[in-house]
Chains A and B, each alone.
Chain A
Amino acid sequence: MSLTTFLQQCLTGISLGGAYALIAIGYTLVYGILRLINFAHGDIFMMAGYFMIFAMASFPWYISIPVVLLVTVLLGVSIERVAYRPLRTAPRMSVMISAIGVSYLLQNLATYLFTALPKGYPEIPFLKKIYQIGGLSASFVTFLTPVLTLIIVYGLIILINKTKIGMAMRAVAKDYDTAALMGIKINRIITFTFAIGSLLAAVGSVLYFTDRMTVFPFSGSLPGLKCFVAAVFGGIGSIPGAVIGGFILGLGETALVAMGYSTFSDAFTFVLLIIILLIKPTGLFGEKTTDKV
C-alpha cells in the first residue's frame, strides 16, 4: 500500500469517525443524565436524513439545513416527552424497552412514509466539490467533517463547563435528587440535553449521508449501535471520550474495509466493545466523574 493510499484511507476513516463522534455525543449526554441507552438515537439520525431529502426538494441548502436541524430537535424532544418522561420513576429496564419500542416505531414509520427502498440523498454542491491536496483527493465534506466535529465539541465543552445551564446539566448528571432539591428544573435540563443530542445527530446525519448518498429506514440502526459503542469505549458520560471513541471506530472500520475484511467491519465495533468492557468497564475516560455529562 502506497503512502498516498494509506493517507487517503486515514482521511476517510477520520471523516467517518467525525460523524460517529457527533452521534456518540448524543448517547453520552443522555446516558450521563438519564442512565438510559437511547436506542432511538440512531433512528433520529436516520429521520434527519429523510428530513433533508424533503427539505432540499423545495429549498436551497442554506435554508434546508437549519430547517432540518430544527425539525430533528423537535423530534428528539418530543420523543423524550412522550416515551421517556412518563417512565421517569419506572425501573430502568422499562425505559430501555420503551426506547427500543420508539426505535421500532420510527423504523416502521419511515418504511411506511418513505418505502423501504433506499432514497437518494440530495447533493449539496459545495460539500461534494472535489479538492486535491498533494496526491489526496476527496470531497470537501471529508475535510470538513473532522474540523466541524472538533469545533462543535469545543463549543459544547465550553457550554457545559462555563455556562449556567451547563452547570445545571453537570449537577443533574451527578445527583438527580439533590439537583432537584437545589431548584434545578430537571425536566427542562433533560429536554435541553435531548435537544443538543438531536441537533448533533442532525449535523452528523448531513455529513454522514452526503458521503453515503442513500437513506433507507434501517440506515440508522447499525450506525446508532456503533456510536453507542464509541460512547462506551470512551467512557460513557464523557464528551472527549465519545469523540475519541468515534474516531477510533471510524479509523478501525475503514482499515478493515481497506484490508478486505468488510464483512467484519460491523463486528469489529462489538469486539472493541467487549474488549473495553473486560479491561476497563468504565471506558477510557470513565473514571473522572467530573467529566460527566
Chain B
Amino acid sequence: MKKNAVSKNKLYTLAALLVIIALLAFLQANSSQYSYQISILERSAIYAVVAVSMNLLTGFTGLFSLGQAGFMAIGAYTVAILTIPVDSRASVYYVNGISPAIANLHCPYWLALIIAGILAAALAALIGIPVLRLKSDYLAIATLGFSEIIRAVIAAPQLDRITNGSYGLKSIPGFPNLFIAFGLPALCILLMVLLINSSYGRAFKALREDEVAAQAMGLNLFRYKELAFIISSFFTGVGGGLLAIFMRSIDSKTFSINLTYDILLIVVLGGIGSITGSVIGSFLVTAGREWLRFFDNPLVIGGFEVPLFRSGFRMVIFSILLMMVVLFYRRGIMGSNEFSWEGLGRLIRSIPSRIKRKSKAQKHPAGIPLCPESMDDSKKGDNA
C-alpha cells in the first residue's frame, strides 16, 4: 500500500514537472506575447532562491539575519562585472573609465554565478566570525549593518572604476532562454532541500530548537552556525547574480534594506521553516503586487470616481495584508510544513476540517520530498 502511494507521488511529481516543462516551452515559443508574465515569473523564481536561503537561516537554524541585500549586491556586482561583454564595457564605464584589473575579465554566466556565490560565502565566513557570537536582535541589527556597509562600499567613489559608482552597471546579458531562467533557481532550491534533509540539516534544526541541548549532544555550535551562514550567503549571492542577469542593469540603490524586508515578508508569508512556503510566498508576493495594480489606477463606478484609488494605494493595501498575516495568521501559508501530494489531496477533499489536517500533518512533518516546481506550476497557471 505504502509503496504504491510513494510511486503514485512520484508519478504526480513527474507529471507536474512535465507540465512545467511544457508550459515553459509554450512561454518560450510565445515569449514576446507573454513578456510581462514571464518577467513576473522570473523575478518570483529568483526571489524564491533568496527567500529559501533566508529561511535556511531564520527558519531552520534560528539565526535571524537581515543581511540578504548586501550578499545579493555582492553576487549581482560580481556577475555584472564578469559577464558584461568586453566590447560594450567602454560605453558602460564611459564616465569614469574601467579599471585595467577587470577590463578583460570575462566568463560565461554560469561560472560567474558560481564565483558570485563563492565571493558572498567568503565574505559571510569573515563576517560570521564576529557576528555569529551575537544573539537574536543584535545579530539582526549587526547583519543589517554589514549589508549597509557593503552597499556603501559599492557606491563609494573610490571604487568607481570597478562598480561604476552611482551610475550602476548595465548591458548585462540576460538569460539565454527560459529553461535556464527557471532551471537555475530550481537547482539552487533543490540543493538547499538536499542540505536541509541531510544530517547537517538536522543539526541546524537542533540548534534552532535548543542551543544548549544541541551543544550537550556534541554539536559544535559555532561551526554549524558558521556553516549555515556561509551556505545561506552562497545561495543569496547566487540569487543576487540571477537578479542581475534578470534586471540587466543594476545599481547600489537596488540593494537597500527594503530588499531584505521584501524577502523577509515573503518568508513570513510562506511560513518560517517551510521551503515550499517560501517558494509559494515569493510567487504570491511578486504576483500579488502586480494583481493589486488596479488599485493604482483611478476607478470610476457609475460616473463617480472612487477617491482612494490612485498611485501608491496598491502598496498600502499590500502592506496592510502583510500586517494581517503577521498579526492574525502568524504561521503563514505553510507554517513549518512542506508541500506533499497527500496534503494537497486532503486539502481539496476536506476544506472544512482543515484544522484537523494541520494537527495530523504535524505528526509527520518531513512527509514526502517536496517539489517546489509543482508550486511554480500552479502559480504559472494563474498568471498565464
Interface residues of A (CB under 8 A from B): 35-37, 82-83, 86-87, 90, 92-94, 96-98, 100-105, 108-109, 111-113, 115-116, 221, 225, 228-229, 232, 263-264, 266-267, 269-271, 273-274, 277-278, 281
Give the chain B neighbours of A82 by CB distance below 8 A. 327
Question: Which chain A residues lie closer than 8 Å to B312 at the CB level?
Answer: 108, 111-113, 115-116
CA of A96 to CA of B149, assembled, Å: 22
B1 near A: Cβ within 8 Å?
no
Q: Please determine whether B330 and A101 come into contact, CB atoms closer than 8 angstroms.
A: no
Closest 10 pairs between A and B when the two form their complex, measured CB to CB: A270-B145, A112-B312, A267-B152, A105-B319, A108-B315, A267-B149, A108-B319, A101-B323, A263-B156, A98-B326
For A94, the closest partner residue in chain B by CB is B330
| Contact between A92 and B141, CB atoms less than 8 A apart | no
Contact between B140 and A37 (Cβ–Cβ < 8 Å)? yes
Q: B136 — nearest CB in chain A belongs to which residue?
A: A92
Query: How far does the alpha carbon of A109 sit from the alpha carbon of B316 in the complex, in Å?
Result: 6
Q: Are A277 and B138 also in contact (CB < 8 A) when A105-B316, A115-B312 are?
A: yes
For the complex formed, measure the closest distance between the CB of B32 and the CB atoms of chain A, giving whole angstroms. 32
- Give which listed residue, B130, B141, B155, B261, contacts A229 with CB less than 8 A: B141
Per-residue interface assignment for chain B, residues 130 to 161, with 1 indicating a CB less than 8 Å from any chain A CB and 0 otherwise: 11001011101110111011001101110000
With A92-B136, A108-B316 known as contacts, the answer to whether A267 contacts B148 (CB < 8 A) is: yes
Query: In whole angstroms, what is the CA distance A232 to B145 when docked?
Result: 12
Does A270 contact B323, Cβ atoms closer than 8 Å? no
Bound: A270/B145 CA distance, A? 5
Whether B265 is near chain A, meaning CB under 8 Å from some CB there, is: yes
Residues of B within 8 A of A (CB): 58, 64, 130-131, 134, 136-138, 140-142, 144-146, 148-149, 152-153, 155-157, 257-258, 261, 264-265, 268, 272, 310-313, 315-316, 318-320, 322-323, 326-327, 330
Q: Is B141 touching A263 in the complex (CB atoms < 8 A)?
A: no
- Of B146, B265, B268, the residue contacting A270 (CB under 8 A) is B146
- Which residue of A35, A86, A229, A267 is within 8 Å of B327 (Cβ)? A86
Closest to B58 in A: A93
A93 and B130 in contact (CB under 8 A), knowing A100-B261, A112-B313, A267-B152?
no
CB proximity of B352 to chain A, nearest CB, Å: 27
Q: What are 27 contact pairs spanning A and B, CB under 8 A? A: A90-B330, A92-B136, A93-B136, A96-B64, A97-B268, A98-B326, A101-B265, A104-B261, A104-B319, A104-B322, A105-B319, A108-B315, A108-B319, A115-B311, A115-B312, A116-B312, A221-B257, A225-B141, A225-B257, A228-B141, A232-B141, A263-B156, A263-B157, A267-B152, A270-B144, A271-B149, A277-B142
A217, closest chain B residue (CB): B312
A274 pairs with B261, CB closer than 8 A: no
Partner of B146, one of A83, A228, A274: A274
Q: How far is the CA of A289 from the CA of B208 in the complex (A)?
A: 29
Q: Would you give the shortest CB distance from A78 to chain B, in whole angstroms?
A: 13
Query: How far does the alpha carbon of A104 sit from the alpha carbon of B268 in the complex, in Å?
Result: 14
Closest Cβ of chain A to B324, distance in Å, is 9
B130 cross-chain contacts in A, Cβ below 8 A: 274, 277-278
Contact, CB under 8 Å: A94 / B326: yes
Cβ of A273 and Cβ of B156 under 8 Å apart?
no
* Least distance between B290 CB and chain A CB atoms (Å): 16
Contacts of B322 in A (CB 8 A): 101, 104-105
Q: Which residues of A contact B137 (CB under 8 A)?
A: 35-37, 92, 96
Residues of B within 8 A of A36 (CB): 137
